[in-house]
A and B are shown apart, each in its own frame.
Chain A
Amino acid sequence: MVSVESVISAEKNLKSLSRKILIVLPILFALGLVVFASLRSFNSSPYSYSRIYSMNTIIDIKVWGKERNAAVKEITDEINHLNALFDDFSAQSDVGKINVNAGVKEVQVSSDTISVLKEAQQMYKMTNSNFNVCIAPISNLWGFKGGNYRVPTAVEIQNTLKLTDINDLKIAGNNVYLGKKGEAVDLGGIAKGYALDKIMAIIKQQDVNDALINMGGNILTYSTDSQKIWKVGIKDPRGGGVIGTLSISGNKFIATSGDYERFFIDNGVRYCHIFDPLTGKPANKIVSITVISDKGYVSDVLSTAFFVAGKTQAFEIAAKLGVSIIGFDESIVPFYSDGLTELLQLEKR
């Protein structure tokens, strides 16, 4: 027999249950909506971004993945560390000490400075002497250090070229000695690439998924995803925009040298900041060249060397070293490695 009370309590229970469902269901529905909305706003994974000024240029650092913040911090520290060593405007830097003591005495420098100078010596040979880390006296003569641009006389150039002999750069252990007074090293064509190599080592040690570093136009791409494609624009050498876009996958280093970065015009002639080590005059065979390789210092140095060497030699050396190039001649007509045909999209001009 069922008592009246128990019937009433059962009814109450049923009522409270349906009430509970009525409250719980919309809350679940709401939670679902919130989760959906969150996924919607985080469909591109978060990254850490930093823009800093160092190594005489502007540097963009973008890192994706779990340890992105730590990675950006470590990268920034490394850049500042190298800048303190390589800064040729400072007499206290390794480069400053080497230059100040040229023809006087040898100086002890850090292992990074030794490494980068050795790479520079090696690249002098690899590039048929189109890249010379001792070219600084020539660029100073033309006013590219202080900004007092001028066209020197042929005699001045000949005399100054005597101070650019890379064989006068002696390295023994951690000591460096420049043989003649007035000689000077300038890491401008290699320091950024060297720094990017060190940054790549940092990235590989951290738990990060992707990284994109742009150090004054020298680019590092990194991804743990082999399908990841970076769109890397190539600056139009005669305009503000991009002239083409490269589709880059994998861990690569991309560097460009052009006559539009630093130059002055005298009597209608353009004089740029990259010098032919043989003639002591600004190179003018092409207007821009981009190099893609697996090593930062290689891309950095080769872009400078190829800018000097011109199209024919650039193709020869690029094939020998297994790097890809894309360049533009005086009429802004492109030339590029066969391997880039599929990866390069040129703008209509």
Chain B
Amino acid sequence: MKNGDKFLFIIIGIALLVSAYIKLFPVKTFQPFVEIRVDGKIFRDISLDSIEQEVQVQSSEGHLIVQIQNKKVRVLDSSCRDKLCMKQGWIYKVGETVVCLPNRVSVSIIGGKNAVDTTTY
């Protein structure tokens, strides 16, 4: 094997390593997604672009159904007493959150650009 060959092999090997590294630790310029948290911990992340779906969420306090449709998300049904989470209606912008306090469940839209950092309410 000639030195030039070795050089080539080493370069190819390193290029593979670097691309694997980038693949493993991607830059966070992701598409907006829906993050459902139960008791403060991540329960499920779902793309906002995903097909229409209803997600069953169970917490220690009760359960609710999160609906994703046409890049919007809302709480469709909840076992809580005041139903304020349902009354909050659809959210669709990055940074928006619907909270069900009694059930300790939150549904947020995260990622993408032009996000608000947080929302006052």
Q: Which chain B residues lie closer than 8 Å to A214 at the CB level?
A: 118-120
Structural contact, B121 and A235, CB atoms closer than 8 A: yes
Partner of A217, one of B15, B37, B84, B121: B121
> CB-defined interface of A118-138 with B at 8 Å, one 1/0 digit per residue?
000000000000000000000
Decide: B89 and A254 in contact? CB cutoff 8 A. no
A52 at the interface (CB under 8 A from B): yes
Given contacts A53-B39, A218-B120, A240-B89, contact A231 B115 (CB under 8 A): yes
Within 8 A of B (CB), among A1-44: 18-19, 22-23, 25-27, 29-30, 33-34, 37, 40-41, 43-44
B119–A242 contact, CB under 8 A? yes
State the CA gap A258–B28 with chains docked (Å): 35
In the assembled complex, the CB of A19 is this many whole angstroms from the nearest CB of chain B, namely 6
By beta carbon, the residue of chain B nearest A33 is B18
- In the complex, what distance in Å separates the CA atom of A11 from the CA atom of B119? 72
Q: Tell me which of B44-52, B63-71, B91-99 binds A.
A: B91-99
Q: Determine if A348 is an interface residue (Cβ-Cβ < 8 Å).
A: no
If A51-B37, A240-B90, A241-B92 touch, does A19 touch B116 (CB 8 Å cutoff)? no
A175–B17 Cα distance when bound, in Å, is 67
Contacts of A27 in B (CB 8 A): 10, 14
Q: Which residues of B contact A218 (CB under 8 A)?
A: 120
Is A58 in contact with B119, judged by CB distance below 8 angstroms? no
Docked-complex contact B119 and A234, CB < 8 angstroms: yes
Task: Report A-chain residues with C-beta under 8 Å of the C-beta of B40.
Answer: 50-53
Assess whether B119 is in contact with A233, with CB atoms less than 8 Å apart: yes
A201 to B95, CA, bound (A): 26
Residue pair A245, B116 in contact (C-beta under 8 Å)? yes
Query: Contact at A40–B116, with CB atoms within 8 Å?
Result: no
Contact A233 B11 (CB under 8 A): no
Interface size, chain A (Cβ < 8 Å): 50
Check if B82 is an interface residue, CB within 8 A of chain A.
yes
Nearest residue, chain B, Cβ from A41: B25
Whole-angstrom distance between the alpha carbons of A258 and B119 in the complex? 13
User: Across the interface, do B27 and A233 meet the contact criterion of CB distance under 8 Å?
Assistant: no
Residues of chain B within 8 A (CB-CB) of A241 are: 90-93, 96
Rounded to whole Å, the gap between the CB of B91 and the closest CB of chain A is 4
Check A230 against B117 for contact (C-beta < 8 Å).
yes
A262 located at the interface, meaning its Cβ lies under 8 Å from any Cβ of chain B in the complex: yes
Most buried by B among A25, A29, A241, A260: A241
Whether, in the assembled complex, A80 has its beta carbon less than 8 Å from a beta carbon of chain B, the answer is: no
Q: Tell me the bound Cα distance from A18 to B6 in angstroms.
A: 12
Chain A residue at minimal CB-CB distance from B99: A58
Please determine whether B18 and A233 come into contact, CB atoms closer than 8 angstroms: no
* A190 CA / B91 CA spacing, docked (Å): 28
A261 at the interface (CB under 8 A from B): yes
| In-complex Cβ contact of A30 among B18, B82, B84 (8 A) | B18
Contact A231 B116 (CB under 8 A): yes
* Chain B contacts with A in 100-118, Cβ cutoff 8 A: 101, 104, 106, 115-118
Residue A60, interface by CB 8 Å: yes
Q: Which of B15, B82, B106, B120 contacts A235 (CB 8 A)?
A: B120
Nearest-CB residue, chain A, relative to B39? A53
- A37–B93 Cα gap in the complex (Å)? 30
Tell me whether A314 is interfacial, beta carbon within 8 Å.
no
CA distance in complex: A97, B104 (Å): 27
In the complex, the chain B residue whose C-beta lies closest to that of A326 is B120
Among the listed B81, B104, B121, which residue makes an inter-chain contact with A256, where contact means beta carbons less than 8 Å apart?
B121
**Known contacts A58-B101, A240-B74; 6 further A-B pairs (Cβ under 8 A):** A22-B3, A37-B22, A212-B118, A214-B119, A214-B120, A240-B98
Please report B residues at the A interface, Cβ cutoff 8 Å: 3, 6-7, 10-11, 14-15, 17-18, 21-22, 25-28, 37, 39-40, 74, 81-82, 84, 87-93, 95-96, 98-99, 101, 104, 106, 115-121
Which 6 A-B pairs have CB atoms at the shortest separation, nearest pair first?
A233-B116, A30-B14, A217-B121, A235-B121, A240-B89, A233-B119
